[in-house]
């Protein structure tokens, strides 16, 4: 070994200059990570790997950055590469277990956490995560054992009349219409928003009324809904809101409440992550009840049981209301449409168009959406796909769906007579991004996502010609409650 060469690990040597450069890039990545600039950290780790590709720690570090960016497929690949280089690297098992859990692959997570514990037996966080993963494996097995083909839905078993509104309840009250049915009026919804802002809940009876009435409206819709924008009017499209209720109020402050003259489309991922998901979804469903033809809601990948179990929504509903209500929400999510076509020109969908399976608009309209999202096919793609800069299609970094290039977007849109796709699903620093020569727009409406990303939020207004205009906004102040406050304790750190 020469003076210009250093030993950096078993059977690994590199020049002193290269080692110094790799260490410098790694440190820059670590600094960016600590400052929560995860995409920048990922870039530094990638550059370091270009210099030192046999360094398992760099692969594990990049996997950690990918987890924070919700690129779980990439995280699994990077952690696996680290384990190829060092089969006894506990942190790589840890990272791969985290990514597998995030995708709902609980058996894989159990395997990796057990392996990590054998190598690092004194780590309490590993033991908590293993216990939580084992619990989920048992829950899945129990639910599968109980499942019956024609089992009655939980929603159908709710007897609203048996939910008594106590005289001691001082919050907003629904009034009965001429038929005796309790209904959400605009006055009630305004009072509900004020109560939520003061961190007060509405009564369980009224919450159930809203959910079940909205569910009935959603059931009557096709899986792909056509929406006209009459001359002289506009429609507002919002992206992910993720339980950030006080930012939803900011949207309404800037753009007005939903109404027959101020229609909205919220493009999925209403819940999880943020700790006011109950308040957001009840608000949106209440406006759906008030204005069925002017409040539109798309299903996102987080309107799914697997995501809600991990990222806090189920825990939040149980804490604020009941386990039964969590099941009623789950069944309601299964009736959310998969997408909307605005003015015959613009597809609005949470993830992206179904380009890999090449499903047509007519096929999507007839699709049976009343289910948990499958792992392939049009529903999976519409909830999970992401755009990429390079041409063609690749497996998605998230580990679900595909990444589609500008050529793929253009070809599919033109085959369906569409001008563009508007999708959400990804944090954008400016709150929106116009890509693929204008064929693909991303809109994201959760500013300073999870209180740490520093991004702006944005929404789009479309006129009757389907010309978009963008409004950006900053995060609103909110009470001191951390994101994922209702997630299982071991997973609240996955931010």
DSSP strand pairing (346-348 vs 420-423)? parallel
Distance CA 112, CA 105 (A): 11
255, 395 in Cβ contact below 8 A?
Answer: no
Q: Outline where 166-203 has alpha helix (H).
A: 186-197
CA angle 466–468–474, rounded 5-degree value: 150
SS3 content of the chain, % helix, strand, coil (to 5): 45, 15, 40
Q: Give every CB contact of residue 88 below 8 A, 6+ residues apart in sequence.
A: 119
Q: Give every CB contact of residue 383 below 8 A, 6+ residues apart in sequence.
A: 268, 299, 300, 301, 304, 338, 350, 351, 373, 401
Q: Is 174 helix (H, G, I), strand (E, B) or coil?
A: coil
Rg (CA), the chain: 24
| Residue 346 to residues 227, 280, 388, Cα–Cα distance (Å) | 10, 26, 19
- Please, what sign has the CA dihedral across residues 166, 168, 170, 176? positive
Among residues 37, 302, 350, 436, which one is catalytic?
Answer: 302
226, 199 in Cβ contact below 8 A?
Answer: no
Tokens at residue 357, please?
């399976």
**What would you measure as the largest C-alpha separation in the chain, in angstroms?**
92
302 is catalytic: yes
CB atoms closer than 10 angstroms to residue 362: 10
Tokens at residue 466, please?
């389907």
92, 82 in Cβ contact below 8 A?
Answer: yes
CB atoms closer than 10 angstroms to residue 219: 11
88, 115 in Cβ contact below 8 A?
Answer: no
Catalytic residue set: 302
């Amino acid at each position: 070994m020469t003076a210009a060469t250093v030993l950096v690990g078993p059977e690994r040597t590199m020049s002193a200059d290269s080692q110094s450069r790799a260490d410098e890039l790694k440190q820059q990545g670590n600094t960016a990570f600590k400052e929560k600039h995860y995409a920048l950290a990922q870039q530094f780790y990638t550059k370091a790997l270009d210099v030192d590709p046999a360094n398992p720690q760099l692969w594990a570090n990049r996997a950690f950055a990918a987890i924070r960016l919700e690129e779980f497929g990439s995280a699994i690949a990077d952690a696996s590469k680290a384990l190829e280089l060092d089969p006894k690297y506990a942190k790589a098992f840890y990272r791969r277990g985290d990514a597998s859990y995030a995708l709902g692959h609980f058996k894989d997570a159990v395997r990796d956490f057990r392996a990590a514990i054998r190598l690092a037996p004194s780590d309490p966080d590993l033991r908590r995560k293993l216990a939580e993963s084992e619990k989920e494996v048992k829950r899945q097995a129990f639910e599968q054992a109980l499942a019956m083909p024609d089992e009655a839905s939980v929603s159908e078993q709710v007897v609203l009349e048996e939910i008594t509104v106590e005289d001691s309840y001082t919050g907003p009250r629904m009034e009965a219409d001429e038929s005796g049915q309790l209904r959400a009026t605009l006055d009630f919804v305004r009072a509900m928003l004020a109560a939520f802002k003061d961190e007060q809940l509405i009564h369980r009876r009224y919450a159930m009324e809203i959910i079940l009435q909205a569910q009935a409206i959603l059931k009557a819709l096709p899986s792909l809904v056509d929406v006209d924008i009459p001359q002289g009017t506009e429609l507002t499209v919002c992206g992910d809101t993720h339980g950030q209720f006080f930012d939803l109020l900011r949207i309404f402050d800037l753009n007005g409440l939903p109404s027959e003259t101020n229609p909205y489309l919220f493009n999925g991922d209403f819940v999880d992550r943020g700790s006011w998901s109950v308040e957001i979804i009840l608000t949106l469903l209440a406006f759906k009840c008030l204005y069925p033809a002017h409040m539109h809601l798309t299903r996102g990948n987080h309107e799914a049981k697997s995501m809600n179990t991990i990222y806090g929504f189920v825990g939040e509903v149980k804490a604020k209301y009941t386990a039964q209500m969590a099941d009623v929400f789950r069944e309601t999510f299964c009736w959310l449409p998969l997408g909307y076509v605005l003015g015959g020109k613009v597809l609005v969908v949470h993830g992206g168009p179904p380009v890999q399976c090449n499903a047509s608009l007519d096929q999507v309209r007839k699709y049976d959406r009343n289910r948990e999202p499958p792992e392939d096919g049009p529903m999976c793609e519409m909830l999970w796909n992401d755009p990429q800069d390079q041409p063609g299609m690749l497996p998605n970094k998230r580990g679900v769906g595909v990444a589609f290039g500008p050529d793929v977007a253009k070809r599919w849109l033109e085959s369906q007579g569409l001008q563009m796709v508007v999708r959400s699903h990804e944090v954008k620093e400016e709150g929106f991004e116009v890509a693929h020569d204008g064929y693909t727009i991303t809109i994201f409406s959760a500013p300073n996502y999870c209180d740490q990303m520093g991004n702006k939020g944005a929404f789009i207004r479309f006129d009757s010609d389907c010309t978009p205009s963008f409004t950006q906004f900053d995060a609103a102040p909110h009470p001191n409650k951390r994101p994922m406050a209702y997630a299982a304790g071991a997973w609240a750190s996955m931010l």
